[in-house]
């Protein structure tokens, strides 16, 4: 188990972003973004367990550094595709929590008018082409968006987030092949949180993860997905490379989901131990790791973090209030938008 905790060393670079030159304000901004995601998800957990949220809720808690480190390297007009575990990506790409909560509760002012819900939340204006309830499907759409960006000479880059479970899907290999052949501006971000639903990835994934993109000639790096500075540094390099026409990249972020596969997945002992969960939460928490580093560097102190956290919690509370008070869509909405 201890071996699972470490970013698996492969024959590729293990990134350490210790020396990255970033304005301290920027790191604090990333702390804020990660905390906003955590706070958002805690509200989701609360809404769900109080039976106020319909459907399923797959929480991103524990994985915040991945979405934030990557999205901070993107421009607003760049694209992302997301997954069933997509609230973090959506927020990190700039969506506003009030309309997100409204979507999760199936209300009219939601990003998708309540028609998509948690697993299909999208923010077209913010470049989020959508969460997806088909594992791996976002990789195809992102590669298509990259293809389009190239054809339109727009300078945009596309990033696709997916869990390591998506490595089982053939689609990913078809599009990686084409992305590499055609040097498309797309970055594949694999969030390896160790489990495909209730099965450890070692039981479903043969060989080295990083050997797969490497087979297509796509540069790959494995990073500590709990260290937002490391994620940011690697993502930025890959994204700039893609933007400069040098082709796709692949980042494997080693991370962990603190909660169940979805909120209802309470009894997890048959597939992972309590000790493993505790170890990640206490030793590898992305918020703690960043705040510790910032404190050590004398770039921030406890009062600053408390302030950020308080503001984020207040923001999320009022976003929830907004959503709860929002109306459900009108019945006439049901037949709208089947066709353009």
Partner 1 sequence: MSMLKTSESTAGATNGKAMRELTMAQAVREALAEEMRRDARVFIMGEDVAEAGTPFKVLLGLVDEFGTDRVIDTPISEPGFAAIGVGAAMTGMRPVIDIMFGDFLTLTMDQMVNQAAKARYMSGGKFMVPIVFRTTLGATRRSAAQHSQSLHVWPSHVPGLKVVLPSTPYDAKGLLKTAIRDDNPVVYFEDKMNFTTKGMVPDEEYTIPFGVADIKRAGADITLVATSSMVYVALGAADKLKEIGISAEVVDPRTTFPLDKQTLVDSARKTSRAIVIDEGYERYGVTAELAAVIADGAFYYLDAPVKRMGAMDVPIPFSPALEDLTAPTADAVFQMAKTLCGRA
Ligand X SMILES: Cc1ncc(C[n+]2csc(CCOP(=O)(O)OP(=O)(O)O)c2C)c(N)n1
- By the criterion CB under 8 A, which residues form the site for partner 1? 54-56, 106-107, 112-120, 132-136, 165-170, 196-199, 203-205, 270-271, 328-329, 331, 333-335, 338
- Cα separation, 200 vs 205, in Å, equals 9
Q: How far is the CB of 164 from partner 1 (least distance, A)?
A: 10
d(CA 88, CA 169): 23
Residue 27: count of CB within 10 angstroms of its CB:
22
Query: Helices 170-181 and 137-152 sit at what angle, rounded to 10 degrees?
Result: 20
Q: What is the largest CA-CA distance in the chain?
A: 57
Report CA-CA distances (Å) from 194 to 31, 38, 59, 209: 24, 20, 15, 12
Binders of ligand X among 244-263, rule CB under 6 A?
A: 261
Report helix, strand or coil for 36: helix
Hey, which residues between 155 and 174 contact ligand X (CB under 6 A)?
A: 162-166
Helix or strand (DSSP H, E) at 70 = helix 64-71
Least distance (Å) from ligand X to the CB of residue 54?
A: 17
From the CB of 63, what's the least distance to ligand X, in Å? 8
| Contact (Cβ atoms closer than 8 angstroms) between residue 52 and residue 105 | yes
Q: Give min distance, CB of 117 to partner 1, in A.
A: 3
* Spatial separation of the C-alpha atoms in residues 86 and 9, rounded to whole Å: 27
Main-chain phi, psi angles of 295, to 5 degrees: -70, -45
Q: Pick what 203 binds: partner 1, ligand X, none; C-beta below 5 to 8 Å, kind-dependent.
A: partner 1
Does residue 212 touch ligand X according to CB under 6 A? no
Q: Which does 195 bind (CB under 5 to 8 A by kind): partner 1, ligand X, none?
A: ligand X
Residue 85 touches which of ligand X, partner 1, none (CB < 5 to 8 A by kind)? Answer: ligand X
Q: Which is nearer to partner 1, 35 or 161 (CB)?
A: 161
Name the minimum Å distance from CB 212 to partner 1: 12
User: Closest separation between CB of residue 166 and partner 1, Å?
Assistant: 7
Residue closest to 42 by CA, chosen among 94, 91, 113: 91
Give the one residue of 10, 52, 133, 279 binding ligand X; rule: CB under 6 A: 133
Q: Which of 135, 222, 231, 316 binds ligand X (CB under 6 A)?
A: 135
H/E run at residue 192: strand 186-192
Residue whose tokens read 């501006």 = 185
Return the number of the residue (17 or 142) whose C-beta is nearest ligand X.
Answer: 142
Q: Which is nearer to partner 1, 52 or 304 (CB)?
A: 52
C-beta of 81 vs 193, nearer to ligand X: 193
Token pair 């990134």: residue: 15
Q: Name the minimum Å distance from CB 169 to ligand X.
A: 6
What is the three-class DSSP state of 222?
strand
> Number of residues in contact with ligand X, rule: CB under 6 A?
15
Q: Looking at residues 182 to 211 of the shown chain, list those that interact with ligand X (rule: CB under 6 A).
A: 193, 195-197
Q: Which is nearer to ligand X, 36 or 89 (CB)?
A: 89
Q: Binds 56, which of ligand X, partner 1, none (CB < 5 to 8 A, cut-off by type)?
A: partner 1
Nearest C-alpha neighbor of 138 from the set 169, 112, 107: 169
- Site residues (vs ligand X, CB under 6 A): 84-85, 133-135, 162-166, 193, 195-197, 261
């Amino acid at each position: 188990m201890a071996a699972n905790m470490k970013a698996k060393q492969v024959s590729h670079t293990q990134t350490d972003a210790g020396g990255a030159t970033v304005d301290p304000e920027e790191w604090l901004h990333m702390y804020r973004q990660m905390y906003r995601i955590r706070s958002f998800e805690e509200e989701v957990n609360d809404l769900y367990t109080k039976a106020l949220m319909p459907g399923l809720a797959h929480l991103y808690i524990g994985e915040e550094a991945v979405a934030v480190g990557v999205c901070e390297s993107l421009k607003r007009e760049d694209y992302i595709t997301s997954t069933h575990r997509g609230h973090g990506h959506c927020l990190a790409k700039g969506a506003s929590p009030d309309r997100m909560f409204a979507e999760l509760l199936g209300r009219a002012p939601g990003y998708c008018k309540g028609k998509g819900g948690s697993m299909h939340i999208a923010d077209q204006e913010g470049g989020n082409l959508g969460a997806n309830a088909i594992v791996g499907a976002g990789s195809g759409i992102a590669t298509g968006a990259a293809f389009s960006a190239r054809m339109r000479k727009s300078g945009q880059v596309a990033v696709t987030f997916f869990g390591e479970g998506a490595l089982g899907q053939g689609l990913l290999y078809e599009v990686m092949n084409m992305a590499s052949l055609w040097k498309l501006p797309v970055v594949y971000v694999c969030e390896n949180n160790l489990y495909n639903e209730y099965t450890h990835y070692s039981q479903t994934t043969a060989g080295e993860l990083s050997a797969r993109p490497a087979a297509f000639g796509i540069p790959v790096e494995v990073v500590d997905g709990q260290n937002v500075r490391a994620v940011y540094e690697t993502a930025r390099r890959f994204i700039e490379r893609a933007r400069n026409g040098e082709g796709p990249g692949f980042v494997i972020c080693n991370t962990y989901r603190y909660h169940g596969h979805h909120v209802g997945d309470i009894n997890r002992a048959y597939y992972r131990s309590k000790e493993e969960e505790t170890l990640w939460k206490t030793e590898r928490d992305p918020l703690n790791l960043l705040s510790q580093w910032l404190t050590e560097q004398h770039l921030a102190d406890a009062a600053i973090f408390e302030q950020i956290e308080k503001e984020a919690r207040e923001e999320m509370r009022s976003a929830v209030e907004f959503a709860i008070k929002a109306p459900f869509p009108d019945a006439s909405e049901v037949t709208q938008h089947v066709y353009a």
